[in-house]
A and B are shown apart, each in its own frame.
Chain A
Amino acid sequence: MRWRAIPSRELSWHRLESALVLRNERTGSTHLLEPPAGEVFRALLQAAAWMTAEDVARASDEALAIVADVLPELVRLGLAEVQSP
Chain B
Amino acid sequence: MNVAELPLAELARRLVGSGLRLRTGAVVTQIRSSIAAVRDGIALLYAEHPVEPDEGFADFRVRIALRGGPRRWIKRQVSFQFEGTAPFHPLPAAQAYPVLEWGLNWCVSANCHQYLILHAAVLERAGRALLLPAPPGSGKSTLAAGLAARGWRLLSDELALIDPGTSSLVSLARPISLKNASIEAVQRFAPGAVMGAVVHDTLKGSVAHMKPPSESTRRAPERALPAWIVLPRYEAQAPRRLERLPKGRAFMHLADNAFNYHLHGRKGFELLVGLVERCACYELSYGELAQAVEQCERLAA
Q: List chain A positions with a Cβ less than 8 A from chain B.
A: 12, 14, 16-21, 23, 25, 28, 30, 32, 34
Contact = CB atoms under 8 A, between A and B. Distances in A.
B266 A25 contact: yes
Contacts of B191: none
- Give the interface SS of chain A, mostly helix, strand, loop or mixed: strand
A32 B250 CA distance: 10
The SS class assigned to the B binding surface is: helix
B251 interface: yes
Interface residues of B, number: 16
A19 B247 contact: yes
Contacts of A30: 252, 255, 261, 269
A21 B270 contact: no
B251 A16 contact: yes
B265 interface: yes
Contacts of B273: 14, 16, 21
Given A12-B270, A16-B273, A34 B248 contact: yes
Nearest to B261: A30
A14 B248 CA distance: 10
B259 to A, nearest CB: 15
B270 A19 contact: no
B249 A32 contact: yes
A18 B266 CA distance: 22
Nearest to B248: A19
